[in-house]
Amino acid sequence: MLLALCSPEGTLPPRWVNPEALLARAAELDVFPLVFHRLRRSPHWPTDKVGPEWEERFRANAARNLLLDTEQERLLNLLKSAGVPALPLKGTRLAAQLYGDLALRAQVDTDIYVSPERLPAALEALEADGYRRLTAVGLPPKRLAATGDEFTSECSLEKRAGPLPVLVELHWRLLPLPAEEMRSACAGGALPAPLDFLYLCLQASADRWGTLKALVDLAHRVRRQPPDWDALAAAGERLGLARILGLTLHILLGYFDLAIPEGTLARLDSAGSARLPRTAVANPFAPLPSLTPAATHRLRWALRERLADRLRYFAFLLQPTAGDLAAAPLPRGLGFLYWGVRWFRLAGVLDAGHKRVPALAGAHR
């Protein structure tokens, strides 16, 4: 029933369904705003059986998204003024694009992409604006720009102004794209459509397709803005992401009624024939089982279909990352020790900590 409610058709459940239980499950799976909105518009919405806390929760999410959207626009202008072309990722723009309403998607931060060479200027502008780094504290921006791969190249920043902390995830590497292509995407203010879709697929794959919210986003994307399938498949092949794209489309078809051409699936299947570990695809309705670092790297290795991408991934694996800095702060002169810290982190000995969720100060009607 939850899946039907989250589908692009938004099929309503039968009258006998317990709305409280459905909303609680939706909240667990991070799709509460969409489910609440659709249930509330149902002709048999049982106002008397649903506690006011759900409405308050929906409104709090809407207010948080309004805050994040306002702050994101301000930051994009700030970065532009600092000569840093930047792209908003996911977030409120995606919510507005896919659901026509930025209140219908849950989120806790704002994600922005800048090219690696502009990362120092971006960090300088954000820190001058009052943001402080939560990760990679003290790491020189030029060094930071050289770390990570498309799964982990980000730095968390936070601004605490009064009761409204805002989290920003600053990304500097998304896909194995030529620098020129990313520069023109930044200048245009948006990723080209095929790359935008591939980015969502990559995000879903990062959680082993075990996050319902990511699948729901993709299903709405396919339904609301059907891709040019040939261009999408070609972009996937060009970027070495055909395997991830093919798997994503098959998984979506398993959950949603979507029109995806057979020819596209067959074309992508040729890239997806490699044997993947059994842990490759998780159940989006169950807690995501954690993988050992070794299993995570084995999976990421297997998802890369080109030798060059695998070697690049391996090279990045051995380099100290922003997370290493957060896990074990060392004095500046001892930076070389991070090459050793990296090995401990690869073995899962040190953890970098967790993201905090900012809360708004009050809720009133």
Partner 1 sequence: MSLGGKVRPGRDVVFRELGGEAVLLNLRTGVYYGLNETGAALWSRLVECRDPARVLAAFARDYAVAPARLERDLRDLIAALTGKGLLEADDH
| Residue 273: CB minimum distance to partner 1, A | 44
Q: Considering the rule CB under 8 A, would residue 108 count as an interface residue with partner 1?
A: no
Which CB sits closer to partner 1, 86 or 102? 102
- Using CB under 8 A as the binding rule, whether residue 328 contacts partner 1 is answered as no
- Sheet with 164-171: list strands edge to edge: 87-89, 110-113, 164-171, 154-161, 132-133
| Secondary structure letter of residue 156 according to DSSP | E
Q: Does residue 70 touch partner 1 according to CB under 8 A?
A: yes
Q: Are 34 and 105 in contact (CB under 8 A)?
A: yes
**φ, ψ for residue 295 (rounded to 5)?**
-65, -40
CB of residue 160 to partner 1, shortest distance in Å: 12
Which range touches partner 1 (CB under 8 A), out of 95-103, 293-301, 321-329, 349-357?
A: 95-103
Q: Of residues 62, 146, 265, 291, which one binds partner 1 by CB under 8 A?
A: 62
- What pairs with residue 155 in β-bridges? 170
Reduce the DSSP state of residue 286 to 3 states and report it: coil
| Nearest CB to partner 1, comparing residues 108 and 282 | 108
- Contacting range for partner 1; rule: CB under 8 A; set: 3-11, 15-23, 60-68, 283-291: 60-68
Map tokens 């001058």 to a residue. Answer: 128
What is the spatial distance between Cα 164 and Cα 246, in angstroms, rounded to a whole number?
Answer: 41
* Cα–chain center distance at 87: 14
Binding partner 1 by CB under 8 A: which of 11, 21, 28, 41? 41
Beta carbons of 104 and 37 less than 8 angstroms apart: yes
Query: Counting contacts by CB under 8 A, is residue 37 touching partner 1?
Result: yes
The nearest distance, CB 66 to partner 1, in angstroms, is 5
Count of residues engaged in binding partner 1, rule: CB under 8 A: 28
130 binds partner 1 (CB under 8 A): no
How many CB atoms sit inside 10 A of residue 54's CB? 20
Cα–Cα distance list, 275 to 118, 272, 301, 356 (Å): 39, 8, 12, 37
Angstrom distance (rounded) from CA 141 to CA 124? 9
- Angstrom distance (rounded) from CA 365 to CA 218: 34
> Interacting stretch for partner 1, rule CB under 8 A, among 64-72, 269-277, 302-310, 314-322?
64-72
Site for partner 1 in 145-174 (CB under 8 A): 161-164
Residue number with CB closer to partner 1 (17 or 164): 164
When binding is defined by CB under 8 A, the residue of 1, 27, 67, 299 that contacts partner 1 is 67
Give residue 142's identity as a one-letter amino acid code: K
The residues that touch partner 1, with contacts defined as CB under 8 A, are: 33, 37, 40-41, 58-60, 62-63, 65-67, 69-70, 101-104, 161-164, 360-365
